[in-house]
């Protein structure tokens, strides 16, 4: 079973599992613990009722401390496994995994917002984003896809089928700051068949003036105003 105590002294494994280094996790953990205490005060039950016995009484949960709850969410967000598979890593049933995901997602979102780590969801606000301008507005734009359950309706199957991934997917476009490696913008989620450039056009992003923007072939013809855009060339194989 995965625990933070087990992984915190294994930097390579911790980074692979969560996408974060120990110092970054512990900075986030401090705020995550505070947000959890706000949402679920010690003197109240999960349902919000006054406790009739001291906290910690009764059955002991698998995700005991804030550090294991945070690890549970970071691994889920990084790897996006099936809930059954995620449960096997943490000693939980699929139903328990589903419960904890719904319970902890708002806590993680609140902690990231408190730290100023949440990307813009409004393309018009990107120009003034602290995440976009951190260090300098040297940005990269790319499309990301993740597998989803195959829809039962034929029309939805067609819409979500990605020829690139050979699977049914959901897609987002992200803008990342090259200096900080932080996501500055996250587009609305679209079906996997929608082209990257189409999502970018519909997002109507406004970039910092004279920002530098790297893009791949999926964004050919995407030329935002007052932005120096470029497409890296692939190294030829010999």
- CA-to-CA separations, 9 to 1, 22, 94, 153, 223, in angstroms, rounded: 16, 8, 28, 47, 45
Token pair for residue 12?
């390579």
Express each pLDDT in 130-159 by its tens digit. Answer: 999 999 899 999 999 988 889 999 999 999
Domain ranges of the chain: 4-114, 123-230
- CA-to-CA separations, 89 to 1, 12, 18, 97, 148, in angstroms, rounded: 5, 18, 13, 11, 20
> Which of the residue ranges 45-59, 67-81, 145-159, 214-228 would you say has the lowest mean pLDDT?
45-59
Task: Decide if pLDDT at 48 tops 60.
Answer: yes
Helix/strand/coil for 44: strand
Contacts 24+ apart (CB under 8 A), 225-230: none
Task: Decide if pLDDT at 70 tops 90.
Answer: yes
Say which residue, 49 or 111, is predicted with more confidence. Answer: 111
29 burial (CB, 10 Å; 0-12 / 13-18 / 19+) is buried
Whole-model pTM: value is: 0.77
Express each pLDDT in 9-35 by its tens digit. Answer: 999 999 999 999 999 999 999 999 999
pLDDT at residue number 56: 56
Mean pLDDT (whole number) for 85-100:
96
């Amino acid at each position: 079973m995965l625990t933070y105590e087990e992984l915190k002294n294994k930097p390579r494994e911790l980074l692979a599992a969560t996408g974060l280094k120990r110092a970054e996790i512990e900075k986030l953990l401090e705020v995550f613990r505070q947000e959890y205490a706000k949402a679920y005060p010690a003197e109240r039950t999960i349902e919000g009722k006054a406790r009739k016995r001291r906290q910690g009484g009764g059955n002991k949960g698998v995700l005991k401390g804030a550090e294991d709850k945070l690890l549970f969410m970071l691994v889920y967000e990084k790897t996006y496994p099936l809930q059954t598979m995620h449960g096997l890593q943490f000693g939980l049933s699929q139903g328990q995994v589903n419960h904890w995901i719904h319970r902890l997602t708002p806590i993680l979102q609140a902690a990231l917002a408190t730290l100023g780590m949440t990307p813009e969801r409004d393309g018009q606000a990107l120009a003034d984003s602290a995440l976009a301008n951190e260090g300098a507005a040297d940005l990269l734009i790319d499309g990301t896809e993740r597998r989803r359950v195959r829809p039962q309706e034929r029309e939805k199957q067609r819409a979500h089928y990605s020829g690139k991934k050979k699977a049914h997917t959901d897609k987002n476009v992200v803008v990342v700051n090259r200096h900080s490696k932080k996501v500055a913008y996250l587009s609305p989620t679209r079906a996997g068949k929608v082209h990257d450039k189409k999502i970018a056009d519909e997002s109507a992003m406004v970039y910092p003036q004279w920002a530098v923007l790297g893009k791949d072939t999926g964004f050919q013809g995407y030329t935002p105003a007052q932005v120096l855009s470029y497409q890296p060339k692939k190294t030829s194989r010999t």
